């Protein structure tokens, strides 16, 4: 069975049980019914504030968490506990923090070689070493560095090691969880360019999770905006940035500081009042209504569905 999409996510839910007292458990709805699909070689950006569940989506996709309900299809095949080990040959992850995601006791060679060992992707020691050196070259690392340890590298170089590790099994899909957030501006650009080059060379698809909207717009073909465990808007990257429809997207975009004084002077910020509500105690109906300017009675009663407004622009809002 095959489909047009590489990865399909259908009504994914991830509820974490939280002990709130003696014999009492409340569920934290980190992801609450998320659906999207990614084509081969495409980049889907996933943005939202901290606590909106974007990282959880990424991790649940790779079964680092067992989902509460919902389906993840890879190439039309459902991802389950049984086939996940085999599927991780095709789906990989790059983590946010290049400092804690590499084992300090392992050399670069062993870090990059570990996925090769796990999936038995070589027949001789020489082949293993060749593969590792090729990967290092691919991400712009010096072959002489193979025997060094992670602490000897800078943040940007460590992120390259993490990416080489993800690429070792020749995946078709990589979840990038805030891969450039911990890096300096000048290094960020190096790593972003590398992601783009690798995509062109290897045809991998990315789920690019980040909170920096300018970077996400730059790298993504489409962008999905999450708020409290739900996708509120999903559209083509430029379409979403130029014609946002959901009030949350509008205010999120207007809150991004633009590094251009002329634009900044003319622009009017839409300031959202208050904070994100706790996901343990979400508002009824539309989760955003407590901060929304357009909220009506209907928003309190019923949660809006993600609807197609033409040209693949999906919005979940009663009023817009």
The residue ranges that bind another protein (CB under 8 A) are 49-50, 154, 156-157, 184-190, 192-193, 196, 211, 213-215, 217-218, 237-238, 241, 251-252, 254-264, 269, 271-272, 275-276
CB within 8 Å of 223: residues ≥ 6 apart: 44, 45, 46, 47, 216, 217, 234, 235, 236, 237, 240, 241
Instruction: Enter the tokens of residue 121.
Output: 């992707």
Shortest Cβ distance from residue 52 to another protein (Å)? 9
Instruction: Enter the tokens of residue 15.
Output: 């509820």
Shortest Cβ distance from residue 66 to another protein (Å)? 28
Shortest Cβ distance from residue 83 to another protein (Å)? 36
Kindly tell me which of 2 and 50 has the beta carbon lying closer to another protein: 50
Kindly tell me which of 21 and 257 has the beta carbon lying closer to another protein: 257
Torsion of Cα atoms, 135 then 140 then 145 then 150, to 10°: -90
Shortest Cβ distance from residue 271 to another protein (Å)? 6
Kindly tell me which of 132 and 210 has the beta carbon lying closer to another protein: 210
If DSSP codes are grouped into helix, strand and coil, which group holds residue 156? helix
Kindly tell me which of 118 and 270 has the beta carbon lying closer to another protein: 270
184 phi, psi to nearest 5 deg = -70, 155
Shortest Cβ distance from residue 185 to another protein (Å)? 6
Q: Which residue from 170, 195, 110 is spatially nearest to 145, judged by alpha carbons? A: 110
Q: Which residue from 115, 116, 109, 112 is spatially nearest to 147, judged by alpha carbons? A: 109
Shortest Cβ distance from residue 227 to another protein (Å)? 10
173 phi, psi to nearest 5 deg = -145, 130
Kindly tell me which of 7 and 282 has the beta carbon lying closer to another protein: 282
87 CB-side CA count, 13 A: 21
CA 148 – CA 153 distance, rounded (Å): 9
Kindly tell me which of 104 and 274 has the beta carbon lying closer to another protein: 274
């Amino acid at each position: 069975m095959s489909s047009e999409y590489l990865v399909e996510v259908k009504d994914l839910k991830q509820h974490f049980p939280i002990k709130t007292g003696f014999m009492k458990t409340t569920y934290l709805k980190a992801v609450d019914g998320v659906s999207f699909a990614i084509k081969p070689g495409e980049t889907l950006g996933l943005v939202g504030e901290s606590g909106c569940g974007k990282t959880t989506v990424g991790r649940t996709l790779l079964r680092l968490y067992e989902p509460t309900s919902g389906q993840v299809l890879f190439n039309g095949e459902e991802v389950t506990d049984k086939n996940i080990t085999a599927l991780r040959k095709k789906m990989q992850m790059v983590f946010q923090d290049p400092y804690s995601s590499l084992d300090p006791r392992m050399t670069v060679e062993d870090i990059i070689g570990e996925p090769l060992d796990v999936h038995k992707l070589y027949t001789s020691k020489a082949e293993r070493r060749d593969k590792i050196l090729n990967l290092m070259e691919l991400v712009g690392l010096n072959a002489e560095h193979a025997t060094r340890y992670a602490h000897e590298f800078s943040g940007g170089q460590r992120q390259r090691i993490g990416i080489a590790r993800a690429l070792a099994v020749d995946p078709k899909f990589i979840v990038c969880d805030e891969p450039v957030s911990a890096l300096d501006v000048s290094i960020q650009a190096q790593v972003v360019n590398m992601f783009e080059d690798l995509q062109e060379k290897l045809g991998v698809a990315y789920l690019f999770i980040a909170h920096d909207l300018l970077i996400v717009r730059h790298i993504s073909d489409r962008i999905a905006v999450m708020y409290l465990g739900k996708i509120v808007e999903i559209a083509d990257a430029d379409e979403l940035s130029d014609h946002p429809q959901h009030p949350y997207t509008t205010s999120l975009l207007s809150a991004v500081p633009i590094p251009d004084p002329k634009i900044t002077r003319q622009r009017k910020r839409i300031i959202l009042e208050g904070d994100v509500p706790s996901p343990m105690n979400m508002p009824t109906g539309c989760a955003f209504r407590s901060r929304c300017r357009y909220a009506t009675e209907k928003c309190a009663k019923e949660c809006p569905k993600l609807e197609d407004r033409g040209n693949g622009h999906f919005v979940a809002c009663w009023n817009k």
